[in-house]
């Protein structure tokens, strides 16, 4: 039996080494091809002139000629792992909906098929000794699910190559990384692979960090799982407060919430604390006089029920690319308090569909929680408006945008090639 976390880590290191080598030996035409994908006229002109000065002869070809006018595409997803994360949920759901629209979708990974979400397309577990690209067939489209997998995507025989960027430390802490890390990640993001992403904050960060343009494909909600409770109760003696995510993940900033709740409890506020987590919580919160109802790696159906059984969901993240649990909570009729983490900017409106506090500001968080305890009518209004917001984020809309992008690229994707 393989340790799949170790397998993933080994291949991650291997890909990073390849990216480091690519950064040292990269041809100017590679930069030109990235600019062509982004349709960045200024950069196209710049790299064209540099090629001319180098005495290089080149021309542009439409690499999508062989798939032009195809309505049914063969699409390969390269998955980084199979763990329970919002990012993996989005990749799997995308693949499911693309398959439902008639496309031939295949999934490849060094991790076993996830058992926490339904994969409706064929799923292939790649042997640890093999690179993923060695096992993938010729396709029309390849989509890398994480930045290191761009290495494999470039070597898959497919005219259309994408990286679906959902944000991580590579985006939000890029300037804090050491120079070697920055060089490797910058190379991954600037290779000639088109970028898809989930929010406007990601579009902004991708441009700021790497000078890249990206195509917006917003996240969406499975309404069969995340749907409203029958009624949003106003008068309750004790409210259910929900947290989501492992307490070992620093950027989730759960310690701020815990400190705020301890203060409120000392002030006499009554509540029950529920916690959805991928792994067992690492801290003993009973020492802080907080009783936690812990839900470890529940099914998606169970998650929906837990949201509906909660009155308030609190997110304190320092950064998010989209903040999927926030919109899922809204879809279930749960009132939301969230930090100004960037990922909420596309849909969260303070005092309209949620309450927003300044990240790390415990005093402001306490005030927001008190407002919902002391004003039940406000809690109901915010929850009802959150429901209206969540209904805009459907998989039909999201996958239609993705399909439109892929079919458009199949008509016209240009690439520069040397002619001598």
pLDDT tens readout for residues 110-164: 999 999 999 999 999 999 999 999 999 999 999 999 999 999 999 999 999 999 9
**For the chain, percent helix, then strand, then coil, each to nearest 5?**
45, 20, 35
Residue 137 sits in the same domain as residue 249: no
CA atoms within 13 A on the CB side of 226: 22
Does 373 map to a domain? yes
More confident residue, 413 or 229: 413
Q: Can you give the pLDDT at residue 235?
A: 63
CA gap 294, 126 in Å, rounded:
34
Phi and psi at residue 122, in whole multiples of 5°? -55, 135
Rounded to an integer, the average pLDDT of 380-387 is 96
Residue 167 sits in the same domain as residue 25: yes
Residue keyed to tokens 């029309």: 140
CA gap 78, 109 in Å, rounded:
6
Rounded to an integer, the average pLDDT of 247-258 is 96
Give the count of domains, the chain: 2
Residue 246 sits in the same domain as residue 378: yes
Residue 66 sits in the same domain as residue 170: yes
Confidence of residue 234 (pLDDT cuts 50, 70, 90): low
CA gap 269, 239 in Å, rounded:
9
Domain housing 289: 239-393
Q: Check residue 12 and report its DSSP letter.
A: H
Does 227 map to a domain? no
Does 194 map to a domain? yes
Distance, CA of 49 to chain centre: 37
Q: Which residues contact 113 (CB under 8 A, 6 or more apart)?
A: 82, 119, 123, 125
Does 269 map to a domain? yes
Strands (E) across 227-371 are located at: 239-244, 271-277, 292-296, 312-315, 335-339, 355-357
Does 353 map to a domain? yes
**pLDDT exceeds cutoff 70 at 230:** no
Does 333 map to a domain? yes
Residue 384 sits in the same domain as residue 409: no
Residue 67 sits in the same domain as residue 51: yes
Do 58 and 51 contact (CB within 8 A), yes or no?
yes
Rounded to an integer, the average pLDDT of 43-67 is 95
**H helix intervals, 211-349:** 254-266, 300-308, 324-331
Does 142 map to a domain? yes
Q: Can you give the pLDDT at residue 420?
A: 78
In the chain, the percentage of residues whose pLDDT exceeds 90 is: 96
Residue 22 sits in the same domain as residue 115: yes
Q: Which tokens in the block code for residue 241?
A: 């407060």
For residue 93, give the 3-state DSSP assignment. helix
Rounded to an integer, the average pLDDT of 370-376 is 96
Does 287 map to a domain? yes
Do 140 and 410 contact (CB within 8 A), yes or no?
yes
Residue 250 sits in the same domain as residue 146: no
Rounded to an integer, the average pLDDT of 354-361 is 97
Q: Can you give the pLDDT at residue 237?
A: 72
Residue 268 sits in the same domain as residue 383: yes
Residue 10 sits in the same domain as residue 142: yes
Q: What is the pLDDT of residues 160-199, one digit of tens each?
A: 999 999 999 999 999 999 999 999 999 999 999 999 999 9
The CATH number of residue 373's host domain is 3.40.50.2000
Residue 215 sits in the same domain as residue 294: no
Residue 386 sits in the same domain as residue 409: no
């Amino acid at each position: 039996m393989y340790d799949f976390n170790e397998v993933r880590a080994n291949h991650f290191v291997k890909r990073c080494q390849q990216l480091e080598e690519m950064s040292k030996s990269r041809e100017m035409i590679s930069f030109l091809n990235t600019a062509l994908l982004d349709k960045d006229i200024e950069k196209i002109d710049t790299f064209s002139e540099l090629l001319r000065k180098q005495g290089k002869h080149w021309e542009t070809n439409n690499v999508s000629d062989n798939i032009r006018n195809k309505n049914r595409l063969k699409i390969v997803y390269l998955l980084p792992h199979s763990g329970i994360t919002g990012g993996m949920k989005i990749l799997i759901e995308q693949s499911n909906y693309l398959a439902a629209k008639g496309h031939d979708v295949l999934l490849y990974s060094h991790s076993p098929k996830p058992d926490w979400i339904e994969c409706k397309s064929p799923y292939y577990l790649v042997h640890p000794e093999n690179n993923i690209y060695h096992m993938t067939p010729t396709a029309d489209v390849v989509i890398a699910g994480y930045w290191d997998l761009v290495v494999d995507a470039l070597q898959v025989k497919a005219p259309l190559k994408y990286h679906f960027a959902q944000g991580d430390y590579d985006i939000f802490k890029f300037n804090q990384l050491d120079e070697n890390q920055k060089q490797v990640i910058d190379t991954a993001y600037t290779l000639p692979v088109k970028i898809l992403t989930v929010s406007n904050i990601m579009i902004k960060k991708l441009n700021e960090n790497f000078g890249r343009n990206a195509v917006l494909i917003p996240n969406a909600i499975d309404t069969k799982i995340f749907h409203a409770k029958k009624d949003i109760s106003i008068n309750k003696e004790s409210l259910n407060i929900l947290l989501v995510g492992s307490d070992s993940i620093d950027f989730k900033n759960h310690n701020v919430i815990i400190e705020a709740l301890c203060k409120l409890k000392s002030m006499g506020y009554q509540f029950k604390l529920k916690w959805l987590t991928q792994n067992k919580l690492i801290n003993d919160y009973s020492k802080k006089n907080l009783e936690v109802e812990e839900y470890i790696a529940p099914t998606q159906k169970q998650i929906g029920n837990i949201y509906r059984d909660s009155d308030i969901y609190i997110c304190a993240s320092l950064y998010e690319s989209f903040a999927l649990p926030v919109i899922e909570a809204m879809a279930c009729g749960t009132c939301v308090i969230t930090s100004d983490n960037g990922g909420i900017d596309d849909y969260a409106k303070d005092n309209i569909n949620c309450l927003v506090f300044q990240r790390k500001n415990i005093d402001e968080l306490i005030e927001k929680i008190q407002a919902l305890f002391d004003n039940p009518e406000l809690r109901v209004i915010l929850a009802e408006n959150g429901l209206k917001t969540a209904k805009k984020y459907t998989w039909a809309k999201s996958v239609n945008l993705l399909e439109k992008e892929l079919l458009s690229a199949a008509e016209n994707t240009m690439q520069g090639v040397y002619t001598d």
